[in-house]
């Protein structure tokens, strides 16, 4: 039985900061950002938007493309969780009006978590071939203002339906995995911003990639030219390009890695969903017909767990995608000033008179007695 991605979509903020603006205020040469790390813009998030509102707006798009009655599992992958106990997925379940006979939970392992969620989803469908699983990765990435990580912030949610006979990509059964205890990036409880050792993280990313890829090649018995296109977890685009060159060397240009980075260069790092945003960018922007082609995927979550795996693109994949809508959603975002970015960074409480909108109809109205109160503009219930 073929199991994999039957629908996939993303959402991000309606607001972004140009990295030229950030560079000017931080006294950094803009070339460091656009050439050195490969980023042009980053999504920034108003007080009413969080990982849950983002996740709902991405998930709505894929649930419309499926028989929602068959969704009996929802897995929410994140490292920017808003609660240590209650699953963020429960809010998504409620706003999408999914049936109650549905298993909902969150998973965490830094940026690897959405890959972990897909593994669980695939196994669930293997045991229950008529089931559909909604997997959402949603993260808003924050580093301390003025730190070297600041220009790599960003955020998005990617939602996918995992099912049998997938219309976008079958996930193959072999993969290479590598886990090692490394303090390269972490976010202690009560810290709003992630802490990191940038050089160690880049070193461990590339080391893990080498090990996972060798293991993948041994298990799959494939040769390099059997991989037609490739996506790499993109904390910033240059990292993914370095990864692509490490694996494919002079074959790099034929693997369409740069097509996979178009959205990330405008959105920034979105941790759990970053790799799958790369996949959407590749499928939307690659001029080649990828039907029947193999896409290699490298997932890296600091701390650290890494996996190299692959998928075979379905014949119908183009019918399931919305490249024009995705391009116009990004084009229609509003650029904010550096001062507005600083205001967003100060974590202001959401209030009714704030003019900034969320990516979809659901917004965080307030936090009262430590409870997050959400509203749906279309339904007016909390
Ligand atoms: N013009 C052009 N290029 C320039 C330049 C200029 N004026 N100035 C610097 N550069 C180049 C540098 O040569 C360098 O390129 P190479 O890496 O090819 O040598 C690049 O720009 C970055 O410069 P630095 O190394 O001096 O930058 P930095 O010390 O400020 O750190 C960073 C950059 C490591 C990416 C930092 O932003 C960081 O630590 N980010 C957070 C951690 C991270 O994203 N790690 C990635 C792996 S971990 C992971 O993948 C999980 C995750 O999502 C977080």
Per-residue pLDDT tens over the stretch 61-81? 999 999 999 999 999 999 999
Q: Model confidence at 381, in pLDDT bands (50, 70, 90)?
A: very low
Three-state DSSP at 210 gives helix
Which residue has the CA at smallest separation from atom 8 of ligand 1?
A: 32
Phi, then psi, of 184 in degrees rounded to 5? -105, -25
Cα 33 to averaged position of ligand 1 atoms, centre (Å): 8
Beta-strand runs (E) in 180-224: 185-186, 195-196
Which residue has the CA at smallest separation from atom 11 of ligand 1?
A: 36
Q: How much is the pLDDT for 382?
A: 45
Cα 236 to averaged position of ligand 1 atoms, centre (Å): 8
Q: How much is the pLDDT for 353?
A: 82
Catalytically annotated residue among 79, 150, 170, 172:
79
Q: Across the strands, what pairs with 107?
A: 77
Exposure letters 325-350 (e unless 16+ CB within 10 A, then b): ebeeebeebeebeeebbebbbeeeeb
Catalytically annotated residue among 233, 271, 286, 307:
233
Return the ligand 1 atom nearest residue 151 CA: 37
Task: Kindly state the tokens that stand for 309.
Answer: 């795996």
The per-residue pLDDT for range 205-262, each reduced to its tens digit, is: 999 999 999 999 999 999 999 999 999 999 999 999 999 999 999 999 999 999 999 9
**212 given a catalytic annotation:** no
Q: Are 209 and 239 in contact (CB under 8 A)?
A: no
The per-residue pLDDT for range 331-378, each reduced to its tens digit, is: 999 999 999 999 999 999 998 888 999 999 999 999 999 999 999 988
Q: How much is the pLDDT for 380?
A: 58
What is the residue whose two structure tokens read 């220009």? 151
Task: Kindly state the tokens that stand for 238.
Answer: 């240059």
What residues contact 220, with CB distance under 8 A and at least 6 apart?
Answer: 172, 174, 310
The per-residue pLDDT for range 117-164, each reduced to its tens digit, is: 999 999 999 999 999 999 999 999 999 999 999 999 999 999 999 999
Return the ligand 1 atom nearest residue 239 CA: 46
Ligand 1: list residues with CB < 6 Å: 29, 31-32, 35-37, 111, 148-149, 152, 184-185, 196, 198, 201-202, 205, 233, 235-236, 239, 269, 271, 300, 302
Q: Are 185 and 134 in contact (CB under 8 A)?
A: no
The per-residue pLDDT for range 296-326, each reduced to its tens digit, is: 999 999 999 999 999 999 999 999 999 999 9
The per-residue pLDDT for range 9-65, each reduced to its tens digit, is: 999 999 999 999 999 999 999 999 999 999 999 999 999 999 999 999 999 999 999
Which residue has the CA at smallest separation from atom 29 of ligand 1?
A: 148
Which residue has the CA at smallest separation from atom 20 of ligand 1?
A: 36
Q: Are 243 and 204 in contact (CB under 8 A)?
A: no
Which residue has the CA at smallest separation from atom 18 of ligand 1?
A: 36
Q: How much is the pLDDT for 379?
A: 76
Cα 359 to averaged position of ligand 1 atoms, centre (Å): 29
Average pLDDT rounded to a whole number, residues 185-203: 96
By CB neighbour count within 10 A (0-12 exposed, 13-18 middle, 19+ buried), where does 136 fall? buried
Cβ count within 10 A of residue 223: 8
Residue 286 has pLDDT above 80, yes or no: yes
């Amino acid at each position: 039985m073929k199991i994999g991605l039957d629908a996939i979509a993303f959402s991000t903020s309606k607001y972004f900061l140009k990295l030229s603006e950030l560079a000017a205020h931080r006294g950094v040469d803009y070339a460091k950002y656009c050439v050195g790390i490969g980023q042009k813009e980053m999504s920034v998030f108003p007080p009413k938007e969080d990982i849950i509102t983002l996740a709902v707006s991405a998930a709505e798009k894929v649930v419309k493309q499926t028989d929602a009655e068959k969704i009996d599992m929802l897995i929410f992958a994140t490292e920017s969780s808003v609660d240590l106990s209650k699953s963020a997925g429960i809010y998504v379940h409620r706003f999408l009006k999914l049936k109650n006979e549905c298993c909902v939970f969150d998973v965490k392992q830094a940026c690897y978590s959405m890959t972990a969620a897909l593994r669980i989803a695939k196994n669930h469908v293997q045991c229950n071939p008529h089931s559909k699983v909604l997997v959402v990765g949603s993260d808003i990435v924050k580093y301390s203002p003025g730190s070297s990580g600041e220009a790599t912030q960003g955020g998005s949610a990617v939602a996918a339906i995992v099912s049998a006979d997938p219309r976008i990509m079958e996930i193959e059964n072999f993969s290479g995995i590598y886990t090692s205890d490394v303090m390269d990036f972490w976010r202690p409880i009560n810290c709003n911003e992630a802490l990191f050792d940038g050089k160690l993280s880049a070193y461990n990313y590339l080391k893990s990639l080498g090990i996972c890829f060798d293991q993948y090649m041994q298990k799959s018995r494939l040769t390099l030219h059997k991989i037609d296109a490739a996506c790499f977890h993109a904390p910033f685009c240059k990292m993914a390009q370095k990864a692509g060159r490490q694996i494919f060397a002079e074959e790099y240009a034929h693997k369409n890695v740069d097509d996979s980075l178009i959205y990330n260069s405008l959105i920034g790092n979105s941790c759990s969903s970053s790799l799958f945003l790369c996949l959407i960018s590749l499928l939307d922007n690659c001029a080649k017909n990828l039907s029947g082609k193999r896409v290699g995927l490298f997932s890296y979550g600091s701390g650290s767990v890494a996996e190299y795996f692959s998928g075979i693109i379905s014949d119908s994949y183009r019918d399931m995608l919305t490249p024009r809508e995705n391009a116009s959603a990004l084009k229609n975002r509003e650029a904010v000033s550096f001062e507005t970015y600083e205001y967003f960074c100060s974590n202001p409480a959401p209030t009714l008179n704030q003019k900034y909108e969320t990516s979809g109809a659901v917004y965080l109205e307030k936090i009262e007695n430590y409870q997050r109160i959400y509203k749906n503009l279309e339904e007016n219930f909390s």
